[in-house]
Structure 1
Amino acid sequence: MPARDDHPSSSTPASTQQGEPQPQLEELLDTHHDPAYGEAVQVAPLVQRVTATNPSPFTFAGTGTNIVGGRRVAVIDPRPDAAGHTEALLRTLEGRTVTHICITHTHSDHSPASRALAEATGAPVLGFGPHPAADAGRHGAAAKAVQEEPGDWDFVPDGVLGHGDVVAGDGWTLECLYTPGHISNHLCFALPEEQALFTGDHVMGWSSTIVPPPDGNLGDYLRSLELLIARGDRDGVYWPTHGPPITAPNRFARALLAHRHRRTDQILACLGDGPATIPAMVARMYTTTPKVLHPAAALSVLAHLIHLSEEGTVTWDPAADMPAATYALA
């Protein structure tokens, strides 16, 4: 749900490491997407997409469920059964065999209909694991005060997938990439036959991804971006669960990584002028963002602050509730 480990180091953006100019994320975002709701659209020879009627500021045009294969298929992210989405999927799947139901992660706009689809088709549900327990850890009240994205607390996979695992069918292969950050149980699925990567909420073409504490972790997210960047030209297209495809995926991932580092620089600049609260930093940093999205922006700033505190760069009073806490340079 946007709102909006085997990973290399992410201390420096990959484009900087390679001596290349950093692309600007804002120039690459695609906010024009008009899906055919409730209908199967053939987006690639091996991929159909059915988009649910759940558009919002956080799901963009809605949740896109991907169907991979021909007569024997895998279904990725069936989402909740809102506005007849499961029925639309079953109509599309009529006459075919569902062999696997694969879940990128357990936010409520991705996984809850998996059990109903499994009961209707007999296919096993596969994912990294149950929804992670809400544990604010050492960040205490500041993290607890942030409303966590709705989770699918009832999700229990029939089979557990991890980094490097492979789900295979007739003429298709899904390779699992463990990509924590947005949430600790997030997976991406590579489809080498199409040079495609299903990115869930890890990378989206219309917006940056929120990393919501307490379970979201910016350090993990940056390492997961580096993992995708290191794949180079193995992926010719990204298919996020929300929004349009990303057709220059490696360039986009590098831009997203650079964007995160610029946000860190902005936060350090704010704190360089003196101690500040999260609302004050959001007002200064997100001048062109609609105020309805400022709570999402506050989550993003908090994720950066937690990351900076773990590095020893920023301090704050853990006894104060977020957003009332005041943050300062260490």
Structure 2
Amino acid sequence: MTSPGQTRAPEPSAAVGAWRGGAISPRAACVLAPNPGPMTLDGTNTWVLAEPGGGEAIVIDPGPDDPGHLAAIRAQAQAMDAAITRIVLTHGHADHAEGAPALATLVGAPILAVGRGHDDLGAGAVVSVRGLEVRVEATPGHTADSISLILAADNALLTGDTVLGRGTTVVAHPDGELSAYLETLDRLRALTGSGEVVRIWPGHGPVIPDAAAMVAFYRVHRRERLDQVRAALADGAVDVEGVLERVYADVPTAVWPAARLSIAAQLVYLGVPV
């Protein structure tokens, strides 16, 4: 929803039709989890990364604890002639992380993450297997523990829920924080502007071939939403539900629970008690 007098940068079109995953580059493949829904889009993207001939793989976001999906992840690694030796979580939400302990047990690989007893992956940390490495970029905002991973060999950024392949992400108050998310988007703009990151491989939805355009869209969207919330407050809204009725009336009710979280984060950012 766009407020009167505002113009929104068009969301980049990354793909036509349903996203099904598959091989993305010689060193990366997406295994789509069978958990589609209003918040997960086509399902969770589990990423398997391995350098051709390297023999070892990193799995990013194993997704739900679904035996069929975990078997598909292992099969993808085998198809890449690689053993899974590292499991990395972009954040702790169940649709990304629930299957990690079971996969770790199956393959004997460590789980690397931020928080929840891990704290293995500070900003700038490097996760490496034979011939391949990814670098951690701290990208809090969606959640406090959110990270993204730079695969320099493909100029790609694996974003988890920080940037999605379609639509925009929720700032999941109270763990998520809008001020942190806005700072994250500024850092992503710098990464895309430098050419270090050209494409985005998200945690949900299709890959994004023009990372800079999508980050620009996200930054415009956040500014517009804040303006809409300010207008709603000026119009008499005093709480989350009042803003929801005025700003998100055209949003499907299936995503209203997520909208409420983002509204709460915006109100806190604007200094309004929630």
> Does TM, normalized by the shorter one, top 0.5?
yes
In structure 1, distance between residues paired with 2:201 and 2:8: 20
User: CA deviation digits over 1:47-83, x for unaligned, max 9?
Assistant: 0111111100000000111111132111100012226
Task: Find the counterpart in structure 2 of residue 176 from structure 1.
Answer: 136
Is 1:295 aligned to residue 257 of structure 2? yes
- The Cα shift of 1:274 comes to 3.1
In structure 2, distance between residues paired with 1:29 and 1:57: 19
In structure 2, distance between residues paired with 1:275 and 1:241: 34
Is 1:213 aligned to residue 173 of structure 2? yes
For 1:223, what is the secondary structure of its paired residue? helix
In structure 2, distance between residues paired with 1:190 and 1:127: 15
- Given that residues 65 and 75 in structure 1 are in contact (C-alpha distance below 8 angstroms), is that contact kept between their aligned partners in structure 2? yes
Task: Find the counterpart in structure 2 of residue 244 from structure 1.
Answer: 206
- The Cα shift of 1:275 comes to 4.4
Match of 1:192 among 123, 134, 152: 152
Q: Tell me the number of residue pairs that the alignment of Structure 1 and Structure 2 aligns.
A: 262
Is 1:89 aligned to residue 73 of structure 2? yes
Is 1:128 aligned to residue 114 of structure 2? yes
CA change 1:122–1:33 in 2 (3 A) is: farther
For 1:84, what is the secondary structure of its paired residue? helix
CA change 1:182–1:119 in 2 (3 A) is: same
TM-score (norm 1): 0.74
For 1:199, what is the secondary structure of its paired residue? strand
- The Cα shift of 1:32 comes to 4.2
Calculate the aligned-residue CA RMSD, in Å. 2.0
- Given that residues 229 and 250 in structure 1 are in contact (C-alpha distance below 8 angstroms), is that contact kept between their aligned partners in structure 2? yes
In structure 1, distance between residues paired with 2:128 and 2:152: 11
Task: Find the counterpart in structure 1 of residue 104 from structure 2.
Answer: 118
Show structure 1 runs of 5+ residues with no match: 1-21, 131-155, 310-314, 319-330
Q: Which moved more, 1:280-289 or 1:99-108?
A: 280-289
- Given that residues 14 and 209 in structure 2 are in contact (C-alpha distance below 8 angstroms), is that contact kept between their aligned partners in structure 1? no
Task: Find the counterpart in structure 1 of residue 63 from structure 2.
Answer: 79
- The Cα shift of 1:42 comes to 1.1
In structure 1, distance between residues paired with 2:259 and 2:16: 22
Is 1:202 aligned to residue 188 of structure 2? no
- The Cα shift of 1:33 comes to 4.5
- The Cα shift of 1:24 comes to 3.2
Task: Find the counterpart in structure 2 of residue 24 from structure 1.
Answer: 8
- Given that residues 11 and 217 in structure 2 are in contact (C-alpha distance below 8 angstroms), is that contact kept between their aligned partners in structure 1? no
One-letter amino acid of the counterpart of residue 79, structure 1: G
- Given that residues 162 and 176 in structure 1 are in contact (C-alpha distance below 8 angstroms), is that contact kept between their aligned partners in structure 2? yes
Task: Find the counterpart in structure 2 of residue 149 from structure 1.
Answer: none
- Given that residues 128 and 161 in structure 1 are in contact (C-alpha distance below 8 angstroms), is that contact kept between their aligned partners in structure 2? yes
One-letter amino acid of the counterpart of residue 201, structure 2: W
Task: Find the counterpart in structure 2 of residue 270 from structure 1.
Answer: 232
Task: Find the counterpart in structure 2 of residue 165 from structure 1.
Answer: 125
One-letter amino acid of the counterpart of residue 48, structure 2: I
- Given that residues 103 and 127 in structure 1 are in contact (C-alpha distance below 8 angstroms), is that contact kept between their aligned partners in structure 2? yes
Task: Find the counterpart in structure 2 of residue 108 from structure 1.
Answer: 94
In structure 2, distance between residues paired with 1:170 and 1:33: 35
CA change 1:180–1:257 in 2 (3 A) is: same
TM-score (norm 2): 0.89
Task: Find the counterpart in structure 2 of residue 42 from structure 1.
Answer: 23
- Given that residues 31 and 206 in structure 1 are in contact (C-alpha distance below 8 angstroms), is that contact kept between their aligned partners in structure 2? no
Match of 1:65 among 32, 46, 53: 46
Q: Which has the larger radius of gyration?
A: 1
Show structure 2 runs of 5+ residues with no match: 1-5
Match of 2:216 among 234, 244, 254: 254
- Given that residues 11 and 214 in structure 2 are in contact (C-alpha distance below 8 angstroms), is that contact kept between their aligned partners in structure 1? no
In structure 2, distance between residues paired with 1:193 and 1:171: 10
In structure 2, distance between residues paired with 1:247 and 1:237: 5
One-letter amino acid of the counterpart of residue 179, structure 1: T
Is 1:98 aligned to residue 81 of structure 2? no
User: CA deviation digits over 1:274-315, x for unaligned, max 9?
Assistant: 343322322221232112222222221111001111xxxxx4
- Given that residues 48 and 76 in structure 2 are in contact (C-alpha distance below 8 angstroms), is that contact kept between their aligned partners in structure 1? no
- Given that residues 237 and 243 in structure 2 are in contact (C-alpha distance below 8 angstroms), is that contact kept between their aligned partners in structure 1? no
- Given that residues 23 and 29 in structure 2 are in contact (C-alpha distance below 8 angstroms), is that contact kept between their aligned partners in structure 1? yes
